[in-house]
Amino acid sequence: DIVMTQSPLSLPVTPGEPASISCRSSQSLLSSNGNNYLDWYVQKPGQSPQLLISLGSTRASGVPDRFSGSGSGTDFTLKITRVEAEDVGVYYCMQALQTPLTFGGGTKVEIK
Amino acid sequence: QVQLVESGGGVVQPGGSLRLSCATSGFTFSTYGMQWVRQAPGKGLEWVALIRHDVTTKYYADSVKGRFTVSRDNSKNTLYLQMNSLRTEDTAVYYCAKDGPYWGDFSWGQGTMVTVSS
């Protein structure tokens, strides 16, 4: 199984400041077709998860451009250029290269 | 837009069975893979099972293999999860999710709670 490791576990941020979350996989998520099969999801308090970023760097429809995904192979990063209060929640990375699909443990973003 | 509505959750004793349903709308159900993902109280997300659009191709997490069965009725635009021999560790919110063009890019339902307790 591919193990997904996220850091940090908790991320207190000041509104207007940037934030960054790291996700590492135990195997490369880069397929022969050039896609990195890595998604980012956010679960806001009391809600279902929602897609932020697919294939490592493609923002989902309606996601603000302050969110960006980068990385390739085994190292990925989710960045928020300027955190807003509505961004609080738990952020998960997920590998979709092979079954079993696996999630990182989550990063809780909270406002200082 | 895509809508996924889970139902069928509840309280069941260890060893019991439950069948979850996920009614869908807003997309051509028969052309997309579908997934079940669960979340134990206060914990992270755990993938449970997937079924491809062709109905016959299915994959399961080791933790549920042999006890859970995923199925779909493309004529009813509905996904199912039959859960047998339930254990206390199966207690979780169960989400159905629609695949994108690959095994990911999920759209999620609101979830249904399953509690396994005596």
Per residue, the 3-state secondary structure of B38-105, as one string, reads EECCCCCEEEEEEECCCCCCEEECCCCCCCEEEEEECCCCEEEEEECCCCHHHCEEEEEEECCCCCCC
Whether residue B103 has pLDDT greater than 90? no
Give the C-alpha distances (Å, rounded to integers) separating B80 from B7, B48, B51, B75, B91.
10, 12, 10, 13, 17
| pLDDT at site A71 | 98
pLDDT one-digit tens code per residue, B41-85: 999 999 999 999 988 899 999 999 999 999 999 999 999 999 999
| pLDDT at site B94 | 98
In chain B, which residue's Cα lies nearest the Cα of A99?
B59
Share of chain B above pLDDT 90, in %: 92
Smallest Cα distance from B67 to chain A, Å: 16
Give the C-alpha distances (Å, rounded to integers) separating B116 from A36, B9, B37, B70.
37, 10, 17, 19
For A32, counting Cβ atoms within 10 Å of its Cβ (0-12 exposed, 13-18 middle, 19+ buried), the class is: exposed
Whether residue B101 has pLDDT greater than 90? no
pLDDT one-digit tens code per residue, A31-78: 999 999 999 999 999 999 999 999 999 999 999 999 999 999 999 999
Count of CB contacts below 8 A, A vs B?
A: 63
pLDDT one-digit tens code per residue, A5-17: 999 999 999 999 9
Chain A neighbors of B106, CB-CB under 8 A: 39, 41, 49, 51
Smallest Cα distance from A89 to chain B, Å: 12
